Amino acid sequence: MTAAESPQVAQRYDPRDVQEKWQARWAELDPFRASEDPADPRERFYLVDMYPYPSGDLHMGHAEAYAIGDALARYHFLRGRNVLHPIGWDAFGLPAENAAIRNDSHPADWTYANIETQAASFRRYAVSFDWSRRLQTCDPEYYRWNQWLFLRFYERGLAYRKGGYVNWCPIDQTVLANEQVINGRCERCGAEVVRRVLTQWYFKITEYADRLLADAAQLEGHWPERVLLMQRNWIGRSEGAEVRFAVEGRDEPVTVFTTRPDTLYGATFFVVAADLPLAEELCAPERLPELRAYVEQVRKLTDIERQSAEREKTGVFLGRYAINPVNDEPIPVWAADYVLPDYGTGAIMAVPAHDQGDLGFARAHGLEVRVVVDTGQPDPAQAGVATVGEGTLVNSGSINGLDKAQAIAAITAILEEKGLGKAAVSYRLRDWLVSRQRFWGTPIPIVHCPSCDEVPVPDDQLPVELPDLRGQDLLPRGVSPLAAAQDWVNVPCPACGEPATRDTDTMDTFVDSSWYMFRYCSPHDTDRPFDPERVRRWAPVDMYVGGVEHAILHLLYARFFTKILYDMGLLDFTEPFTRLINQGQVINCGRAMSKSLGNGVDLGEQIERFGVDAIRLTMIFASPPADDIDWADVRPEAMVKFLARVWRVAADVAAADAAAGPAAAARGTGDAELRRVTHRTIDEVTRLVEAYHLNVAVARLMELVSAARKAIDSGLKARGSAEGPGPADPAVREAAEVLAVLLSLFAPYTAEECWELLGHEPSVALATWPLADPALLVLDTVTCVVQVNGKVRDKLDVPPSITEAELRELALAAPGVLRTLDGRHVSRVIVRPPKLVNIVAA
RNA sequence: GCGGGCGUGGCGAAAUCGGCAUACGCGGCAGGUUUAGGUCCUGUUGGUGGCGACACCGUGGGGGUUCGACUCCCCCCGCCCGCACCA
């Protein structure tokens, strides 16, 4: 029997032909709207795909991410849950602004045009969004709540302004948060970041460092392990002690942080970050010119140069001595750039014998290296390798002979007793720098008044809307373009009414994305950022789908916001995303797609060629969700073929029904063998989807299609001789229906076509997920593998209920076993009924 | 350097608990349909040896535990990711 001969199906199936038809029907049906009815008995499920940045049309990466999210969302819909699956746009940001400068237009033009393009693409891509909740962060109705939240943070001391070293991107002409600097480069444009001293707004995320760390335990097992790990590393908690050193010529002692207070006797010099005002303070007057020259030199270095560990360690002696508090020994004070100004206190006690960085400095400048922990390893002064392991304290007065842990406890106790220090914790995490010197973002709702200083804009004056700037007005000048908008900047002080000026910076766009998942719950609320009642119903997000590139930035910030909102009493949970799955990247020929490599693949083109269903299926089938997909390795045409096979099963059933009159066949009857396959498929696909093994789920569907095909063809071949079930068999219809519903997770158009062919309406989206009949999952015979010394020598068909004794006897008599044994002595028989027997022979 | 992850056919990948390695797909091969090519359909496809029944080898390498190891343990090699003077 061949396709060409088949009387059942003459026409060919092209999945591209049915897309428009179903888009129109779905728009009418609106099947995915989440219900807010508190009386709705369905279990709620909240699934969020990370919202896109509207940089143009959707691309291959979006196609993968949303195919995964949509499959899961549709699964929960079909399981009868009240699913919230919203979409929005991360619509503020630099590219819009740069486009506006190029085109002499307003960033909003570019932004909203791209959003419309993407929205249309999402509809074509058949993603099951609740479109009524769509949000865009550049809408004043959205960003006014950024401002509202900023003011609440401000009231709590969590938003504050301070001067200090910041990361400045010379291309984008704005400051960046620490998290946005990757290997010393701007994460957006790749330019080398330089350090500048500026007064900026910060969110006090460091105050939440411990909670961010502790609550990560709740996410264990539900978030990818590496994301949790990256967050833990980023927060970088270290335990140690603060030690106060008196310094000649200064009244106040200088505090240092150390993780190794046990090595205090080994401190042979003292270093302060050269570019900290403290360095000048500590410097002997005659050494000042030298220090200043050095600092000048340091400033010229980029962060990349400065942080290179191979570089010779430079520094200058400040002509002063600090007093080691445990032995009153004077140690020289140096200024150097290997000590960072913004970690710990910006000053350290240097223990060259037991710290590699300090050792490098000591060797470069001829400073003493004194071993105080005997680790049994070679002398660091000779070997050039600091010893950091366990050992016994030596040269350390009262703590001699103790081990590392004992010594840390002892020294800490001594310091505390004498008021010279205490146990302390330090974090690598810095406060989140949120102000930006660019236009297309949320204005910071603060007014600067000559007499009242910082004055919050009153809530009833929110939103502070952006002024109407466009084109050249937006050129980066090192200060925010907002500063040039005189009409906008000059306002009466909300407190005293005298002339004052608005803060001209805008917020980091990561502020927008730190709480959008709550806004989705009541996106049209005009009185507050979100309705706590509704958020309580939906949130936290049950499933969050997005790329691992946000492992630190967005996810850390969103967790931070959630904790603040919890503290404000607006949420009753402390973690925003219960479960997280990362999708991999779509690459091409082994590399990320890029214009410069010319290996880009256009999503729209792929869809034109193969249709939406085939592209979605390609994404899902290629690999597990978290793995990268190399587009050079996949064959969308194979998916087109598969879809046509599925369709042909449904079409054959429909044709057989038409020939036989109205199908009266009873459910639950028909070919038993096919029914078993169908129900096993239901069972397995359900389990696989629950475990996110979507690629394997598709493989199971392919097997079901093959089984259905065989059942149909064998019946046709028989022609009255009743050799096989044929297309009219109820089991075949059952298989086709199950197939349509299960397939709808991945290929909604084809699923709809099949569902319709099988006589159902209006949409497979309103179908129910099938339940496997347990009776059909039990096999009446099982293949038992019989091994001799671990090698398969025979196979037996046995009933699943076979006893150990019976199976043992059968196995020992199996021909393959007898042949292999060839009279050898059987020393042991391991029987695992009903699937395996292993015979151990001499 | 530190931390983490991963190595399975020619390729993408499967393998609940330690129990038939390579499901499913791609590619290849053979056949059918076709005037031909393509499409489509069917079969086949880890390696070596053998006409064959079969035998041996085989999940990066080496060792171990076990009746039995892709799976657990130790050592090594390779690749990927994160952090990288954080005191």
C-alpha A231/C-alpha A161 separation (Å) is 25
Q: Which nucleotide is nearest to A816 (CA to C1')?
A: B54
Dist. CA A541–CA A525, nearest whole Å:
19
| pLDDT at residue number A1 | 33
How is A609-647 classified by DSSP, letter by letter?
A: HH-HHHHHHHHHHHS-TTS-EEGGG--HHHHHHHHHHHH
**Span A457-490, pLDDT tens digits:** 999 999 999 999 999 999 888 788 999 999 999 9
C-alpha distances (whole Å) from A514 to each of A9, A154, A562, A820 are 53, 17, 8, 67
Predicted pLDDT of residue A666: 61
pLDDT for the residue A49: 96
Q: Which helix (H) or strand (E) holds A62?
A: helix A60-78
HSE-up of residue A132 (Cα within 13 Å, Cβ side): 12
Sheet holding A159-169, edge to edge: A174-176, A159-169, A194-203, A432-433
Q: Which residues in chain A come in under a pLDDT of 50?
A: 1-10, 718-722
Pick the closest to residue A743 from A624, A631, A649, A610 (CA basis): A649
Render A492-544 in DSSP notation, one character per residue: E-TTT-SEEEE---EE-TTTGGGTHHHHTTSTT-SSSSS-HHHHHHHPSBSEE
A681 Cα distance to chain centroid: 31
Taking the C-alpha atoms of residue A89 and residue A87, their distance in angstroms, rounded to an integer, is 7
Closest residue to B55 (CA to C1') is A820
Q: Phi, psi at residue A237, to the nearest 5°?
A: -75, 130
The answer to whether residues A758 and A650 touch, using CB atoms and an 8 Å cutoff, is: yes
- Predicted confidence at residue A279, as pLDDT, reads 93
Q: How far is CA A767 from CA A79, A743, A760, in A?
A: 9, 12, 9
Q: Which residue has the tokens 């936290």?
A: A540
Which residue has 């600097």 as its token pair?
A: A181
- Strands A432-433 and A194-203, by their bridges, are antiparallel
Question: What's the whole-model pTM score?
Answer: 0.93
Nucleotide nearest to A6 (CA to C1'): B41
Does the nearest atom of strand B lie within 7 Å of A231's Cβ?
Answer: no
Please tell me the predicted confidence (pLDDT) of residue A312.
Answer: 84
What six digits make up the tokens of A766? 């309103």
Q: Is the CB of A573 under 7 A from strand B?
A: no
Q: How far is CA A313 from CA A62, A293, A509, in A?
A: 46, 16, 38
Query: How many other C-beta atoms are found inside a 10 Å radius of the C-beta of residue A524?
Result: 10
**Partner residues linked to A160 by β-bridges:** A202
User: Nearest CA to A448 among A494, A503, A490, A498?
Assistant: A503
Question: Which ipTM value was assigned to this complex?
Answer: 0.95
Strand B contacts in A 305-344 (CB under 7 A): 306-309, 311, 313, 337-340, 343-344
Name the residue closest to B68, CA to C1'.
Answer: A790
Instruction: Kindly report the backbone phi and psi dihedral angles of residue A833, in degrees, each rounded to the nearest multiple of 5, phi listed first.
Output: -65, 145
Of all protein residues, which has its CA closest to the C1' atom of B81?
A226
